Structure 1
Amino acid sequence: MTWGDAGKGRQVDRFAAWLRDRSTPVIVGIDRNAPKWERHDLAEDEWWNRWEPLLYGPDRVHDLRDVNREYLATYPELAVQVQKARPDGPLAVTHRRRGTECRYDAIYASPEFRVNGVEHHLDAALSAGSDHAIVTCDLVLDP
């Protein structure tokens, strides 16, 4: 986004308020263009600006969860494999920023959904002409 700091702040405020005040289950797929550096511990992520943590950080103002982080937390053996493969992060690769591997593309889901799986399809997306991965997930709406 090129709206400057004030524009970014307004955008985050409105989007965060919508997510916080939602009245129904919700799933959001988003090209976040953030974080600047993703670490295995969300509290250690580095951000491009002061607004991004309000949507994506550990103290976000809404209750949606990053389904990839939740999936890794559910399967610690998988989290260990990811940490061995990329000890400094990111948790998955969905974009390459001037050669740097990033996870910019994510799916967030409200607590009503259980996460059964997440996949990141970077090679398929690159072959189709995109510069960002296709991210899919298997979610179940719990009654």
Structure 2
Amino acid sequence: MNSRPQPPAQIRWAGIIAIVQSVIALAFAAFLVFRDITGAEEHSLVSDTSNIGWVGTGTAIFMLIIFGTVLAGAISMLRGNKWGRGPIVLLEIILLGVAYFMFTGGAWPFGVFTAVSAALALYFLFNRNSFAWSEARYQA
């Protein structure tokens, strides 16, 4: 018999949102590595060193660490484990700031998607059912 209480629908939805966000970010990270490997030039980067061609790969490694952790946390949370909620909350708060810069940078369609998905995930993580489930998980 499974001693873990199954997560409520709100926790599952927050996990699904985090998984979708992470998959999109990891796909972009793979795109950055592909651009570096194929030698695509980035005209917005200016440097005298030859290592400037690997900025995309460095960014991709950073994204792999961050979004990989969130992906693992979301899967853990969907399975009824208590670990995972914290990294997702932190990412969603950061994504609200990222959405602001998307708006100010003229990428408002992406900003709307980012802000709405982050706000929804935070709403799902901070409602009464989610708190009750989290409390039950930490008392177990």
Shared fold by TM > 0.5?
Answer: no
More strand per residue: 1
More helix per residue: 2
> What TM-score, normalized to structure 2?
0.26
RCO comparison, higher one (Cα < 8 Å, 6+): 2
- Which structure has the larger Rg over C-alpha atoms? 2
